[in-house]
Amino acid sequence: MAFQFQLPDIGEGVVEGEIVSWKVKVGDKVKLDQPLVEIMTDKATVEIPSPRAGTVSKINFKEGETCPVGQVLVEIDDGGATASAPPPAPSGNGHGHKPAPASVAAAAAATPAATATSRGSIEVVDVSQSRERVLATPATRRLARQMGVEIGRVTPTGKHGRVTTEDVKRHQSLGTTQQLPKGQPIAIAKGGDEERIPLRGIRRKIAEQMSRSVHTAAHFTYVEEVDMTELVAVRERAKSRASERGVKLNYLPFIIKACVSGLKKWPQLNASLDETTQEIVQKRYYHIGIAAQGPHCLAVSVVREADKRSIFDLSKEIDRLGEAVRTGTATRDELTGSTFTISSLGKLGGVLATPIINFPEVAIVGVHKIEERPAVRNGQIVARHLMNLSISVDHRIADGWDGAMFLQDVKSLLEDPTTMFMEMV
């Protein structure tokens, strides 16, 4: 008989997951802990292993569909009696909450006015009642509150009458409280030899996040040239000692330290806007996001408490997180919670970029390539190691002066590493 495996509670506040890809198909024999499916939540993509050995008898959600926590994801014939067990408790940081078992979810679905309100459970409402009671995830409701949108007036386009985040954004962009028509999607006509790739998983989440950022934060960008010659020499001298400690030393740890120092002086750049309370939240902790290209897409890993780490410690942590991103083993905690982001393409950094803010942060710094170029020093043309830094700032929260002065402080620390070391904790 079939064992009914429900989608487990993947992490705090997660109520559903999108099916990115199935690793098995109906009829496949699976072993205990064999990878079953890749699931994307609003924070990270995780691979879920099989809880039983047996034969896959039924798959209840297709790739691209969304499965609520607690719903039966897949059925596995393990030769025993039919069973439907509650999903296992999450491992790792212990922040998870016990989701509703399938029997509770089924009962709620059969009761039109029932609503499960605990975290990790399924929200079910009667969409035939007042539009004030709508079917939407907590994340969508939170977005509506942040945008000042009355969710009961939003026209739903999701499955079973669900209001989606895109519905909320579209409602606000049209600036009306009346019943809104569905947005008209753009169709791309076939024009020759093409390949069509479904926009799903992390790629779709990035698209949604970037779209939200550019349509919410009021971006402006400021650029400064930095003379890295002295820091290049410092790094060259420190490479052998770093190697003795198993550290591959690059410039990013120094840039992080300079940025943290600047953020302490300009705290409005290490902040977020709480739109529900209309408060600017200045953060006294420094979790620095590192935006870099992973094997499939852009990823932002988070170096926590960067102000309390040494240069060597920062190097080790950056390498550890980078490896986790490359191998797809990065956890939700390692990909969320940054307060300020640095975007770097290393040697491919180019001359200039206008990075998009990692919303809801206030600013992001773009790091560009270091190259030897001619510069005028004391009336003489000399070769110097020069680099451009760009910063994009949310003009709602910080002024041009703030962004420019912050980058000037970062520039002064990088150009004279001695002063940077004096400011380090």
Annotated active-site positions, please? Answer: 395, 399
Longest dimension (CA), the chain: 87
292-307: string of b/e by CB count within 10 Å (b at 16+)? bebeeeebbbbbbebb
Closest CA to 31 of 14, 52, 10, 3: 52
